[in-house]
Structure 1
Amino acid sequence: MTVVMTVCGGGCEDVAFEDVGGGEETRLRALHDNGVELNGTRFNGTRFNGTWFNGVKLVGASIGQGAAKSSLTGWSLVPGTSELQAVGNKGVLYRGEALEGARLHWLADDGGKELVDVQLKIVAVTQSADRPDIYFTDIDFRMNDGKWESVCTDGEGEPTSAIVVPGYFDTATADWLPGEHGELAFACRGTASAKCLEWGYRMWAKHGGISLADHYRACTRMVRADYCGTNVAHTENGTPIDVSDRLSPAILEPETDWAVEAEWGPHGAVCLNQPRKLTHSRAAVVAECQAAGRGVLPTCDAPGVHGLLKSQAAPS
């Protein structure tokens, strides 16, 4: 049996171990590291969460050079996936890897201060081996005539991929919203917005006939320990949690005997025992949620309390 553990130092990574005789290691295969970032580390201010790479409509694009150069319009996602597609000259459809090298160009409003010449370049597109409806897109950008940089970086500041998703992230509430006009947003790998997709809670998908959009929202709250649904995190990067759901069949099932921390809905925790970080007491979090108008959070053994997702943790 292959066991996956989360190892954290300067950053976090999943490390696989082979179990040959049973024991403690076999109970750790479903652990997931959590964290406090929703949209990545590079763009947490106006540029990422404002008008640039969140809820953007891609325009002014081209691919190729010289006589082979083609304009690209009609940007969208292939239905049921995170694979980008666009229409070129004479109705030619470009999608996925065929878009590598495409460049996009527009004038962006830099927080109402000035117009900035923004360019994007699709560097690479890779289909996930685990979930074939997920595509990892490496995207570089530059402002005016500056140097090219990756839109997404990991916890070490190294370039990483984005998962392009429909809609946008509400920067005040940290909620995902589907959008109404073909908007697209970038979820950077390693952040809550992308982790929940890779764990299986893709907002565009259905499971057993049930839309996973609310499971996705619940997951992003859970990863960040946003108990009150107010965009306030109560965790630290790399804290392990055991994640499971009530779907049939389940996407993730519990794999430890850790205590139940909380159950989760799209607007935060629906019940809470001991928060995963001992620096936060249950009483303090309950008071915080009451002050935010969420009412009293019951404990998770209260009758009739059920969330979409459940987190188990060894408080630390």
Structure 2
Amino acid sequence: MKALKSFLLTFACLLLTPPVLAARPAPSPIPGPRSAPAVVSVPAADRYALRCQERAPERYRSHQGTALWGTKPSWDSSPGTNEKHSVLVSIDVNAVRKTETGVKAVRLEKGRLVAWPQTSQQVAGTVLQGTSGDGKPVEVAICAAEPASDDPELTWYRIEAWNPVAQEWENPCTADGRVPAPRAVAVSGVWDGTGARRDVPGKLTLACENGAISKCVRWGYKPWTERNGKSLVDLHQACTRMARADYCGNGRSHTRDYTVIDMYDGFGVLSPTTQASEDFDPKKITFEAAWAPDGATCISRTRDGKALSSILQECPQRFRASTVDLGEGDRCAVQREGVSPKAALLRNRSHGSP
């Protein structure tokens, strides 16, 4: 149990530094303006033949964690990030672009994809139509399926997406020092840039390992499960807000890289941690906030050390100053207008201001 809780004590990994770009030689001076080189489009037959091959190292890498999906915000190599954007936000389970095994569609069974109409067929090698954050089409190849060793309901997928800028297949998941080759998990629902989730018939999300959607599944908040007859869909969604410290429910994160957090809920999935470990001391953390699917219901303090007044300014008329005692030593300084703090599905504690 101690090992399990050590795994569940989470690092909300948030961008502090821009991506590191490989240095390039300075170009020789050339008089007059220079046009950008034209990108030659690869024919579809050749494109599909290139999927799921061994790849050279990524052109750039960055620490990530503010991102909801865990994917790259764009296909170009420019510095900076956009935690509200993604090169891949959903896939169409009925739009098979290429297959070698006769798969006509895929279906989601708990945390794994199965082929349709013949469930015995392999989904690996299938190319599906996906959509980016700006609504553009993107093709997604499922390269390999890896059943989770600790959860028979969950399967991890090695995926690639067609990069129209570089004209090559590329892992759309953003890597960091802890997970250099991220995989993805299939989750029902589609998320937008504000972090809101909705059910869209025929679509689902391939959430990368370093994103909040995927992390919340790993922490035990699996949206396909139930506790005492209640679905965990809303609890999983509340977790995505909590993981990113999205107090206002607008998709904006308020945390720092590798911040240790402890979460607990009223469903009996997780309880407060009482045992100390190498990177966690329960005596040094304090209550932070209570969470609902659309953001915090009440806040004691911010995770990134900013004044609570900055949150009140970010989402005016959403919170008001009010001391609320939730019990078990959890007290809030501001609470949500028109929402009872005790209606929260999830609470968390963290270290004080950095």
TM tier relative to shorter chain: 0.7 to 0.9
Q: Any residues of structure 2 matched to 1:139-288 within 5 Å, and which?
A: 139-143=159-163, 146-156=167-177, 158-171=180-193, 173-179=194-200, 181-247=201-267, 249-255=268-274, 256-257=282-283, 258-278=285-305, 280-288=306-314
1:31 maps to amino acid: L
Are residues 51 and 284 of structure 1, via their aligned partners in 2, closer, same or farther at CA, if it must alter by over 3 Å? closer
Task: State the Cα deviation string for residues 57-116 of structure 1 (Å, max 9, x = none).
Answer: 14134433xxxxx332232212xx1211222xxx43246xx2222234x5979958xx87
Q: Offset of 1:305 from its aligned partner?
A: 3.2
Matched, 1:82 2:103: no
- Unaligned stretches of 5+ residues in structure 2: 14-65, 77-82, 275-281, 328-339
- For 1:50 and 1:72, the matched residues in 2 are separated by 30
- For 1:277 and 1:110, the matched residues in 2 are separated by 27
- For 1:92 and 1:41, the matched residues in 2 are separated by 30
**Residue 257 of structure 2: SS of its match in structure 1?**
coil
Q: How many residue pairs are counted as aligned between the two chains?
A: 271
- For 2:120 and 2:87, the matched residues in 1 are separated by 23
The 8 Å contact of residues 270 and 298 in structure 1, kept in 2 or not, is answered as no
2:102 maps to amino acid: S
The 8 Å contact of residues 123 and 140 in structure 1, kept in 2 or not, is answered as yes
- Unaligned stretches of 5+ residues in structure 1: 5-26, 65-69
The 8 Å contact of residues 67 and 84 in structure 2, kept in 1 or not, is answered as no
1:93 maps to amino acid: T
- Tell me the TM-score normalised to structure 1 length: 0.74
- For 1:283 and 1:251, the matched residues in 2 are separated by 31
Are residues 134 and 285 of structure 1, via their aligned partners in 2, closer, same or farther at CA, if it must alter by over 3 Å? same
Q: Offset of 1:31 from its aligned partner?
A: 2.2
Task: State the Cα deviation string for residues 187-239 of structure 1 (Å, max 9, x = none).
Answer: 11021111011101122221221111111111111111111111111111211
Are residues 33 and 284 of structure 1, via their aligned partners in 2, closer, same or farther at CA, if it must alter by over 3 Å? same
The 8 Å contact of residues 261 and 273 in structure 1, kept in 2 or not, is answered as yes
Match of 2:10 in 1: 32
Match of 1:7 in 2: none
Structure with the larger strand share: 1
Matched, 1:57 2:92: yes
Task: State the Cα deviation string for residues 147-203 of structure 1 (Å, max 9, x = none).
Answer: 2211223225943111111221122x2112122x22111111021111011101122
Are residues 178 and 237 of structure 1, via their aligned partners in 2, closer, same or farther at CA, if it must alter by over 3 Å? farther
- For 1:177 and 1:139, the matched residues in 2 are separated by 23
1:42 to 72, 85, 100: 72
1:265 maps to amino acid: A
2:345 to 301, 308, 311: 308
The 8 Å contact of residues 61 and 73 in structure 1, kept in 2 or not, is answered as no
- For 1:191 and 1:200, the matched residues in 2 are separated by 15
1:213 maps to amino acid: V
- For 2:107 and 2:321, the matched residues in 1 are separated by 40
The 8 Å contact of residues 262 and 300 in structure 1, kept in 2 or not, is answered as no
Are residues 111 and 263 of structure 1, via their aligned partners in 2, closer, same or farther at CA, if it must alter by over 3 Å? closer
Match of 2:102 in 1: 71
Identity %: 27
- Tell me the TM-score normalised to structure 2 length: 0.67
